[in-house]
Amino acid sequence: MYIGECIETIILARRNGALGEYVGHGIDSNDREYRMAKVNGVVYKVTQNIEVDQGWYWKVTNMNSWKTEHIEDQYDLARFNG
């Protein structure tokens, strides 16, 4: 199972489960909503972008290492593998 599948399940359900913990949500400095999930001891911040000219749909940030990855397609979050 990809890490993205765990993250996606947690942030869409907005609750803890066998795959990890729902850490919370908020609004970033660009007025984009983000949600946070903890999987295998790592906290991931997931921001959804709805502006089509930005070139990405999801931004996933590993809050432990600050590494960020942009995902172009809205259906590709589940295939994210950190």
Is 80 among the domain residues?
no
* Domain enclosing residue 65, as ranges: 3-74
Which segments of 1-82 are extended strands (E)? Answer: 21-27, 33-39, 42-48, 58-62, 68-71
Is 10 among the domain residues?
yes
For 3-46, what is each residue's pLDDT tens digit?
999 999 999 999 999 999 999 999 988 888 999 999 999 999 99
Higher local confidence (pLDDT), 13 or 54:
13
* Contact status, residue 44 vs residue 7, Cβ threshold 8 Å: yes
Is 82 among the domain residues?
no
Is 79 among the domain residues?
no
Is 81 among the domain residues?
no
Is 36 among the domain residues?
yes
For the full predicted model, state whether its pTM sits above 0.75: yes
Q: Tell me, what's the pLDDT at 23?
A: 97
Inform me whether the pLDDT recorded for 64 exceeds 90. yes
Is 7 among the domain residues?
yes
Q: Tell me, what's the pLDDT at 4?
A: 93
**Count of structural domains, the chain:** 1
